[in-house]
Amino acid sequence: MAILRIILVPFAVATLLTLTCAQQSSTSTHEPVLDVTSMDRSVDPCVDFFAYSCGGWIKNNPIPPDQSSWDTYSKMQDENLARLRGILEEASLPNASRNAVTQKIGDYYASCMDEKAVDAKGADPLKPGLERIAKLNSKTDIADVAASMIDQNVLFRFDSIQDFRDANQVIADADQGGLGLPDRDYYTKDDAKSQELRKAYVAHVEKMFELLGDRPDTAAAEAQTVMRIETALAKGSMTRVERRDPKALDHKMTGAELEKLSPEFQWQVYFTKVGMPSLGSLNVTAPNFFKAMSEQLNSESLADWKTYLRWHLVHADAPFLSSAFVNENFAFYGKTLRGQQEIQPRWKRCTRGVDGDLGEALGQAYVDKYFSHEAKQQALKMVKEIEAAMGQDIQSLPWMSAPTKQQALVKLHAVANKIGYPDKWRDYSKLEIVRGDELGNVDRSRQFEFNRQLAKIGKPVDRGEWDMTPPTVNAYYNPQMNDINFPAGVLQPPAFDPMSDAAPNYGDTGGTIGHELPHGFDDEGRQFDAQGNLRDWWTLDDAKEFQKRADCISSQYSNYTIIDDIKINGKLTLGEDVADLGGLLLAYMAWQQDTKSEKLEPIDGLTPDQRFFVGYGQSWCGQTRDETKRLRATVDPHSPEKYRTNGVVSNMPEFQQAFHCKAGSPMVNRNRCRVW
Ligand SMILES: [Zn+2]
């Protein structure tokens, strides 16, 4: 799934797009979509367009202590959290008049906010889990315990996915997992920073064992055990770049074949325990991982596996335990890993928790209050214009043959547009939320979600489903659904402002809507057909021509430095970089079409074309802490904001004309790249 942008907080928040607000008046105080005070006009736009568009913003918006990065979209997300807080505080009042939905979100939130009660329980809520692990008598029982720790990232992930070869069917899927650091590369890289981080990680694991009551010397040895097991699992794991090729993830096999691949794990016990005793076949995303896992099960002792399981239990549950656990967890994952100075206030963490576990219940209340019918219609209008632009673009491509164009258009016309929120809300009636039982609520929510995913197996795909909650400030394209999704949370100012002239709206919101469509045609998305099947619909020559153009982008971005000597991994960010460039070109075409009968005048000393591009540049205003830059360099498939701006405009002659940039300027790419 290709999302617009990731923010590395407990769940991904990101960016993008659009519009709105009929209810908003001209006296509202939100920032305009093009804010001249956010610019730095002392910078030459042909030298560094990002600094020109965003220099003022960066000066005026220091990163708040509770954030690891700060940009226009995280600001929107933060404002959205405050709105959600209002909804939750009202719903959590003991004598509020509530319906079934507000009861759940209100009681979940109240339980989370009651820090005194959570603190008083200390590590007690972990007792049943710890006892289950302590009682393990043999390695063959590990499968049984793993099945009771479904969302604690033990060993691997088990879930349902759309069948790569038949997008209408849902099948079971087993995938790599089981690590405490954010990526396998953290265990394998040898540079000084990586070694330093591994040391800090081991020290953190040790402290967590001490919080469970282990003696310091025991805890130190246990932390080494965790590191050793996780390193072996990491080495068996696929890299993020390998995982960008869907064909490399498609390995359908029978249960018996999986048992043969990974004989030391009792699969039948696991499947029976999770309620699928007669599972016939499944996809195994990363076969080598399961081989490695099996070898580790064989070579490590039962005692060491118990240590590994205890770590993952306390690690996954730490955010919902007493302050000692919460603070130690933040010290490593927030401060050391991301550079965040302070933990987010409790209300933000609890609000995110409700959004994560009861997102469509909270989303229902959010949409009622903050998302208008007009906003939905305006967003849909812009989506249609940009789709039309993409249709024209495909037809005019010089490098693609007629048969492939024909197929591309079929796919484009089949893209489903999902705007705001799902047509049918998720039913949470079977999920029990108990006021005062914080970790219990979290555990039951995890189980509910796990069961919901597994219940889909063997059934036709529900194409109305969403992967993001309505309040999310982000957007995504899903190649197996062939749909683009713009949650209500992102359809608001300042990304789009009906009071503004059209140019910056198209540069900002148009660019972000435009970004999602080419994902269906990037190096990953192009391998899926109109229905979402992994099926090659390209002629050989067209595929070669595509690859040539994609390589141009990949080489361009691989030259950009993120921090120190770390460059962008252009193979990791390729899909997003292709989407960024295609997205802005489409938005430009749609804007020209929409305003072709108007006479546009300069405003604030900027021509209409300049306003279009500054609108785009300002959608990416932001800054990031150094630690988070390093983290993103490894895990984020998106390029840093600066290059999402400069990398794109330097490929566009329309930009160079708008700012009269001379050949040889940094914002004029000598070897101009273009795919879509
Ligand atoms: Zn994207």
Contact 495, 72 (CB under 8 A): yes
Q: What is the mean pLDDT of the chain?
A: 93
The one-letter amino acid code at 670 reads R
Instruction: Please tell me the distance between residue 309's alpha carbon and the centre of ligand 1 in angstroms.
Output: 35
Instruction: Please tell me the distance between residue 626's alpha carbon and the centre of ligand 1 in angstroms.
Output: 23
Instruction: Please tell me the distance between residue 664's alpha carbon and the centre of ligand 1 in angstroms.
Output: 30
Is pLDDT above 70 for 480? yes
Instruction: Please tell me the distance between residue 300's alpha carbon and the centre of ligand 1 in angstroms.
Output: 41
Which among 163, 138, 136 is positioned nearest to 148, based on CA atoms? Answer: 136
Per-residue pLDDT, averaged over 503-524, amounts to 93
Distance CA 371, CA 22 (A): 9
Instruction: Please tell me the distance between residue 358's alpha carbon and the centre of ligand 1 in angstroms.
Output: 25
Instruction: Please tell me the distance between residue 476's alpha carbon and the centre of ligand 1 in angstroms.
Output: 6
> For the segment 554-592, what is each residue's pLDDT rounded down to a tens digit?
999 999 999 999 999 999 999 999 999 999 999 999 999
> For the segment 455-473, what is each residue's pLDDT rounded down to a tens digit?
999 999 999 999 999 999 9
Crossing angle, helix 608-619 and helix 49-60, to 10 degrees?
60
Instruction: Please tell me the distance between residue 50's alpha carbon and the centre of ligand 1 in angstroms.
Output: 19
- Residue environment code for 175-204, b if the CB has 16+ CB neighbours within 10 A, otherwise e: bbbbbbbebbbbbeeeeeebeebbeebeeb
Per-residue pLDDT, averaged over 141-155, amounts to 93
Contact 648, 578 (CB under 8 A): no
> For the segment 317-365, what is each residue's pLDDT rounded down to a tens digit?
999 999 999 999 999 999 999 999 999 999 999 999 999 999 999 999 9
> For the segment 190-231, what is each residue's pLDDT rounded down to a tens digit?
999 999 999 999 999 999 999 999 999 999 999 999 999 999
Instruction: Please tell me the distance between residue 570's alpha carbon and the centre of ligand 1 in angstroms.
Output: 14
Count Cβ atoms within 10 A of the Cβ of residue 560 and give its class: 0-12 exposed, 13-18 middle, 19 or more buried: middle
What DSSP string describes 255-306? HHHHHHHSTTS-HHHHHHHTT-TT--EEEES-HHHHHHHHHHHHHS-HHHHH
Contact 465, 483 (CB under 8 A): no
Instruction: Please tell me the distance between residue 102's alpha carbon and the centre of ligand 1 in angstroms.
Output: 33
Q: Is the peptide bond before 494 cis (omega within 30 degrees of 0)?
A: yes
Contact 84, 366 (CB under 8 A): yes
Instruction: Please tell me the distance between residue 514's alpha carbon and the centre of ligand 1 in angstroms.
Output: 10
* DSSP state letter for 123: T
Residue 21: predicted pLDDT: 26
Residue 652: predicted pLDDT: 98
Q: Which residue has the tokens 């300042």?
A: 494
Instruction: Please tell me the distance between residue 3's alpha carbon and the centre of ligand 1 in angstroms.
Output: 4
Provide the terminal-to-terminal Cα distance of the chain, rounded to the nearest Å: 20
Is pLDDT above 60 for 627? yes
> Cα dihedral angle (374, 379, 381, 387), rounded to 10 degrees?
-170
Distance CA 309, CA 226 (A): 9
- Count of residues making up the chain: 676
Residue 30: predicted pLDDT: 67
Residue 243: predicted pLDDT: 96
Instruction: Please tell me the distance between residue 577's alpha carbon and the centre of ligand 1 in angstroms.
Output: 8
Q: How far is CA 85 from the centre of its chain?
A: 22
Distance CA 486, CA 446 (A): 25
Instruction: Please tell me the distance between residue 508's alpha carbon and the centre of ligand 1 in angstroms.
Output: 14
Number of other CB atoms surrounding residue 296 within 10 Å:
23
Is pLDDT above 80 for 496? no
Work out whether strand 483-487 and strand 416-420 pair parallel, antiparallel, or are unpaired.
parallel
Number of other CB atoms surrounding residue 298 within 10 Å:
11
Provide the β-strand partners of residue 158: 174
The one-letter amino acid code at 74 reads S
> For the segment 19-45, what is each residue's pLDDT rounded down to a tens digit?
222 223 333 456 788 999 999 999 999
Which among 351, 371, 361, 465 is positioned nearest to 418, based on CA atoms? Answer: 465
Per-residue pLDDT, averaged over 371-383, amounts to 87
Pair of tokens at residue 587: 């938005």
Instruction: Please tell me the distance between residue 14's alpha carbon and the centre of ligand 1 in angstroms.
Output: 10
Residue 29: predicted pLDDT: 54
pLDDT level of residue 13 (50, 70, 90 thresholds): very low
Instruction: Please tell me the distance between residue 516's alpha carbon and the centre of ligand 1 in angstroms.
Output: 6
Instruction: Please tell me the distance between residue 248's alpha carbon and the centre of ligand 1 in angstroms.
Output: 20
Contact 587, 513 (CB under 8 A): yes
What DSSP string describes 151-175? TTT-SEEEEEEE-SS-TTBEEEEEE
Work out whether strand 483-487 and strand 476-478 pair parallel, antiparallel, or are unpaired.
antiparallel
Top mean pLDDT of 2-16, 294-308, 497-511 is at 294-308
Residue 15: predicted pLDDT: 27
Instruction: Please tell me the distance between residue 638's alpha carbon and the centre of ligand 1 in angstroms.
Output: 7
Instruction: Please tell me the distance between residue 194's alpha carbon and the centre of ligand 1 in angstroms.
Output: 28
Most distant pair of Cα atoms in the chain: their distance: 80
Hey, is 495 helix, strand or coil? coil
Count CA within 13 A, CB hemisphere, residue 629.
17
Residue 6: predicted pLDDT: 59
Is pLDDT above 70 for 104? yes
Instruction: Please tell me the distance between residue 5's alpha carbon and the centre of ligand 1 in angstroms.
Output: 6
pLDDT level of residue 372 (50, 70, 90 thresholds): confident
Hey, is 191 helix, strand or coil? coil
> For the segment 397-434, what is each residue's pLDDT rounded down to a tens digit?
999 999 999 999 999 999 999 999 999 999 999 999 99
Residue 62: predicted pLDDT: 98
> For the segment 277-316, what is each residue's pLDDT rounded down to a tens digit?
999 999 999 999 999 999 999 999 999 999 999 999 999 9
Provide the β-strand partners of residue 420: 487
Distance CA 390, CA 522 (A): 13
What's the 3-state SS for 30-61?
Answer: CCCCCCHHHCCCCCCCCCCHHHHHHHHHHHHC
Instruction: Please tell me the distance between residue 235's alpha carbon and the centre of ligand 1 in angstroms.
Output: 28
Pair of tokens at residue 329: 């967890």
Per-residue pLDDT, averaged over 652-662, amounts to 98
pLDDT level of residue 96 (50, 70, 90 thresholds): confident
Pair of tokens at residue 92: 């959590």
Instruction: Please tell me the distance between residue 610's alpha carbon and the centre of ligand 1 in angstroms.
Output: 24
What is the spatial order of strands in the sheet that 281-284 belongs to? 156-162, 170-176, 281-284, 252-254
